Amino acid sequence: MRVIAVNGSHKHDGNCAFLINVILDDLKMKGVETKVYNAHEVISDCKHPFCISCSSPCSRVCYGQKLTELFYDMQSSDAIIFASPVYFGTMSGQLKCIFDKTRDVRAKKAVLGKLGIAIACGASKYGGQEKTVSAIHDCMLVNGMTVIGPSSSSAMGHMGVCASAPANEDEFAISRAHMAAERIYEELTAF
């Protein structure tokens, strides 16, 4: 089993990274292989940081090595975690740029049915986290992914994992991240 995460924050050790690591550490203890991609590094490696829709179907001419690797890993993974800080009530531009560049991924149905979960971190308790999670869900659904929600045994949050900064002090969010790991593992082992 393989789970990857895409950190939409420009901080490798920030709030999103902290919650990603809580989930991935729990999954690693269960024998799941994991990997984290940092969205700003993936995008900065591209010829154009954002999709300019230069051809239809997508010719991938603007892809960089890191984006190609990420999309390959998305296809070969069992579940994908997307995390973002709240920027103006939605996901970061870096994460949105990655989703915008999934035109070829979607055309190939490369992530169709893949499990997905969202994390959002805001500066305040009601800082737009659920709206950000919803925007990430929309992008996952456009790609045909299966969004993981809570179960009767694991109440990770109705929408996903939402935290207030600093996330490492948000005990509620940390408990929800542990529950998210349980839900991912529950879904991975259900088949």
Predicted confidence (pLDDT) per residue in 117-171, tens digit = 999 999 988 889 999 999 999 999 999 999 998 766 666 767 789 999 999 999 9
Q: Which amino acid is at 73?
A: D
| Of 157 and 178, more confident | 178
pTM of the model: 0.94
pLDDT at 154: 63
Q: Does the pLDDT of residue 174 top 70, yes or no?
A: yes
Strands in the chain per DSSP E? 2-7, 33-38, 79-85, 115-122, 146-147, 161-164
Determine the pLDDT at residue 52.
82
The better pLDDT of the pair 183, 150 is held by 183
Q: Which residues of 122-131 are buried (b: 16+ CB within 10 A; e: fewer)?
A: beeeebbbbb
Domains contained in the chain, number: 1
pLDDT at 185 over 80: yes
Q: How far apart are CA 173 and CA 120, in angstroms?
A: 10
Higher-confidence residue: 29 or 191? 29
Domain range for 12 is: 2-188
Contact at 8 Å (CB) between 149 and 158? yes
Q: Of 23, 16, 15, give the one whose Cα is nearest residue 179.
A: 23
Q: What span, in angstroms and rounded, lies between the C-alpha atoms of 168 and 67?
A: 29
pLDDT at 72 over 90: yes
Tell me, what CATH number does 17's domain have? Answer: 3.40.50.360
pLDDT digits (tens, 9 = 90+) for 11-70: 999 999 999 999 999 999 999 999 999 999 999 999 888 888 888 888 888 899 999 999
